[in-house]
Amino acid sequence: MPIPPEDTDRTLNFAGPATFGRVPRLDQVGTTDIAVVGVPFDAGVSYRPGARFGGNAIREASRLLRPYNPAQDAYPFHYVQVADAGDITANPHHLGEAVDAIEAGAEELLCTGAQLMTLGGDHTIALPVLRAVARKHGPVALLHFDAHLDTWDTYFGAEYTHGTPFRRAVEEGILDTAALSHVGTRGPLYSKEDLDEDTKLGFGIVTSADVMRRGVDEVVQQLKERIGKRPLYISVDIDVLDPSHAPGTGTPEAGGLTSRELLEIVRGLADCHLVSADLVEVAPAYDHADITSVAASHTAYELVTLMSRQIAFLRWAEEQKQAQPV
């Protein structure tokens, strides 16, 4: 039976070490179905640093998460084992070494059979995690929530930055280019060619204005049609939210999604085959009253719930199959 979070009727939710949602540590359970892992790395940013502190800020904010998720009618921490796997250590002074270390850390967890909910860190970390995920599942569909495209080629000659991970991922063949979508993009670009190159890489775009005009339900239906039943990786840059909903981030852009819109879109993906996810670019030094980390913790909670429900259903289906008479 899974070991659930501590019972807050018997403990103080504001006291003691913080794990995500107060779930047990990985060393306390041995193996886990979903590993929540931090990557405190932000050497790939192009503007404000500070996302290296994001994972722990999300953990602190997640103290208020509770076992039952009414929006999805689910008990995500009770169906399957969810554990906090601590942090992957990445060299803060060398981008190449950091990328290799993050890939190795992610692969080590995936090889145990766990799915990953990765807490960044800046968006550079998505590339090495995707490499490890694709090694297990093959090229994956990608749903990318972000104000920015993150498909630029280089920045000051650097191939690995928080603005380049998905170009590298397409080049390396680890993404299914028939099922790539940005959601929430907005703001100025370097040139119109940025959009042309992004299209050539295979991405479809749902801007934040599209979400506002068309509504969540229509957007979700479009995304599900594009994703189909492919293995899906979701990457959430918290700057997809408007700065009024997420001021604590490195590259804010006006006109973003509300936290309600983001949560509802994620919840609408319940039928998709989500295999792992990340949430990045929370920079608590710029946060006010923990607005950003609270939004991030709830978004990660919804992603963990999606994975938990899916794992539990597949196990139930297998048990039913085995119970059938030969």
Q: Which residues make up each annotated binding site for Mn(2+)?
A: 123, 146, 148, 150, 237, 239
Question: Residue 44 — pLDDT band, cuts 50, 70, 90?
Answer: very high
Question: CA 246, CA 308: separation in Å to the nearest integer?
Answer: 26
How confident is the model at residue 325, as a pLDDT? 78
How confident is the model at residue 145, as a pLDDT? 99
Question: Residue 245 — pLDDT band, cuts 50, 70, 90?
Answer: very high
How confident is the model at residue 16, as a pLDDT? 80
What backbone phi and psi angles, to 5 degrees, belong to 156?
55, 35
Alpha-carbon separation of residue 33 from 28, 143, 228 (angstroms): 14, 22, 24
Question: CA 243, CA 239: separation in Å to the nearest integer?
Answer: 7
Predicted confidence (pLDDT) at residue 199 exceeds the cutoff of 90: yes
The residue assigned the tokens 């775009």 is 205
Question: CA 28, CA 86: separation in Å to the nearest integer?
Answer: 12
Question: CA 32, CA 114: separation in Å to the nearest integer?
Answer: 6
User: Order of strands, edge to edge, in the sheet holding 231-237?
Assistant: 82-87, 34-39, 115-120, 273-280, 231-237, 140-145, 175-185, 203-207
The mean per-residue pLDDT over the stretch 10-14 comes to 75
**Over the stretch 108-134, which tens digit does the pLDDT of each residue have?**
999 999 999 999 999 999 999 999 999
Predicted confidence (pLDDT) at residue 6 exceeds the cutoff of 90: no
How confident is the model at residue 324, as a pLDDT? 82
Give the angle subtended at the CA of 84 by the CAs of 82 and 86, to the nearest 5°: 160
Predicted confidence (pLDDT) at residue 10 exceeds the cutoff of 90: no
**Over the stretch 14-27, which tens digit does the pLDDT of each residue have?**
878 899 999 999 99
How confident is the model at residue 11, as a pLDDT? 73
How confident is the model at residue 285, as a pLDDT? 97
Name residues whose C-beta falls within 8 Å of residue 106's C-beta, 6 or more positions apart in sequence: 37, 88, 116, 118, 128, 129, 131, 132, 133
The single-letter DSSP state of residue 158 is B
The mean per-residue pLDDT over the stretch 160-176 comes to 98
The mean per-residue pLDDT over the stretch 88-105 comes to 97
- Identify any residues that bridge with 278 across adjacent strands, giving them in sequence order: 118, 235
How many CB atoms neighbour CB 201 within 10 A? 16
How confident is the model at residue 326, as a pLDDT? 67
Q: Which residues make up each annotated binding site?
A: 123, 146, 148, 150, 237, 239
Q: pLDDT above 70 covers what percent of the chain?
A: 99
How confident is the model at residue 183, as a pLDDT? 98
Predicted confidence (pLDDT) at residue 184 exceeds the cutoff of 70: yes
Predicted confidence (pLDDT) at residue 169 exceeds the cutoff of 80: yes
* SS percent in the chain: helix, strand, coil, step 5: 45, 20, 40
The CATH homologous superfamily to which domain 20-312 belongs is: Ureohydrolase domain (3.40.800.10)
Predicted confidence (pLDDT) at residue 1 exceeds the cutoff of 90: no
This prediction has a pTM of 0.97
How confident is the model at residue 8, as a pLDDT? 65
- Tokens read off for 132: 């490890």
* Mean pLDDT value across the chain: 96
**Over the stretch 45-64, which tens digit does the pLDDT of each residue have?**
999 999 999 999 999 999 99
